[in-house]
A and B are shown apart, each in its own frame.
Chain A
Amino acid sequence: MMIAKNIDKRFISILEQVSDPEIPVLSIIDMGVVRSAVIVNDIVKVEITPTYSGCPAMDVIGDDIQKALKDAGYNSEIDLILHPAWTTDWITLRGRKALEDYGIAAPLDAEADKDVLLNQKRLVKCPQCKSTNTKLVSQFGSTACKAQFQCEDCQEPFDYFKCLK
């Protein structure tokens, strides 16, 4: 997945310093929540979109973006947009890798995700030992975007980032 087109190149590296407070290894660029960042009349207008409606991280992310841009010498305005709705397809490849390294299994495609969450199929790869002998513990997890799993080989519990389309 590519980074959204409407992000002015000079802001990418600044915005990459901002991460989701719940998943500090994942920058908001790799998360796909930044939909545009353009400069209008000397103010950087940044559009972000929530992963889930009730995601409490959005306010913090908005503040962090303004701070990062301020440190780089820019004033900014944050706009929260709902359309088009965020999907897990917007997480970049680098983002998926960062999730795995952090111990969160990255989202499967929609079909496989359904099989896993509804039919208890064993397709999610354990981020620790890479086994797919994993079972669903709960459809809901520590944040709205995750479900809880356990690896039956190494016994480690872990989060799975649910597919959202």
Chain B
Amino acid sequence: MKNEKLYNYILGIADNNLILGQRLGELCGHGPNLETDIACTNISLDLLGQVRSFYQYATKVEGQDKTEDDVAMLRTEREYLNVLLVEQPNTDFAYTIARQFLFDVYHLLFLQELQKSNDFTLVAIANKSIKEVSYHLRFSSDWIKRLGDGTQTSHQKIQQAIDDLWTYTDELFHQTETDKIMVEHGIGVDVTKLRDTYYVQVGEVLAEATLQVPESKYFQKGGKHGIHTEHLGYLLSDLQYMQRTYPNMKW
């Protein structure tokens, strides 16, 4: 019972990495310029590296014959537990950066708390990841400021992206039943406690970028329970194509 909960808890953390990593990977060869192209794929690589550690641990916890590839590639849409924010498409560069920034602030706060878990493996992965994620946050914050405080067009576009993606931010702090049990066991992070700090930190960067904090209090959630936006299905068909077409293929 506890193992099943822990397994689901790990997926809840890791699926965010996988899906965001895939989204950023889509930019390979399509970034607005060479440097940002390389940056986005580098961040993608960090996220996918972290997700391997999580999935390897998850399969160990589950104790069946599954491999990390099975977990990553062979689940159905409803079985992915990532938040809605990370599956949102690369509408334009402003959306890519806004999505990244809104996730990075959360990601860093989350990992800082995960470092206090009593699960040694989760702590080790958090310790490793946190160095990489601080760098991601520097990159995305920097771009928020450059676009916000840039030209009239860049300002308008990044404000639009922030406004549109804002509706997915509150879900980050939604606690599932699994989360609750993991917090009780001293393993999981109480995400509800991160909310205030998150909005303060986001607000500071937006202010510096001369951007408005959206006032809307209408929020979407569902990803943590497997209920996704229409975008995830398309993303998965791309992600899973090779394994579905050539079952059990290996590199």
Interface residues of A (CB under 8 A from B): 50, 52-56, 81-86, 117-118, 137-142, 144, 148, 162, 164-165
- Whether B50 lies near A53 (C-beta < 8 A) is yes
Instruction: Count A/B pairs, Cβ under 8 Å.
Output: 72
Which residues of chain A are within 8 angstroms of B75 by Cβ–Cβ distance?
none
Which residues of chain A are within 8 angstroms of B84 by Cβ–Cβ distance?
none
| C-alpha spacing A81/B124, complex, angstroms | 9
Interface string of B139-154 (1 = CB under 8 A from A): 1001000000000000
- Whether A54 lies near B123 (C-beta < 8 A) is no
Which residues of chain A are within 8 angstroms of B132 by Cβ–Cβ distance?
52-53, 144
18 of the cross-chain contacts (CB-CB < 8 Å) are: A50-B49, A52-B49, A53-B46, A54-B49, A54-B52, A82-B125, A82-B128, A83-B120, A83-B124, A83-B127, A84-B127, A85-B127, A117-B138, A138-B38, A139-B39, A139-B135, A140-B39, A144-B45
Query: Top 3 A-B pairs ranked by shortest CB distance?
Result: A54-B49, A53-B49, A138-B35
Choose one: A52, A82, A148; the contact of B124 (CB below 8 Å).
A82
Do most interface residues of chain A lie in helix, strand or loop, or is the interface mixed? Answer: loop
Q: In the complex, what residue of chain A is closest to B138 when comparing beta carbons?
A: A118
Which residues of chain B are within 8 angstroms of A162 by Cβ–Cβ distance?
135
Which residues of chain B are within 8 angstroms of A50 by Cβ–Cβ distance?
49, 128
- Whether A82 lies near B127 (C-beta < 8 A) is yes
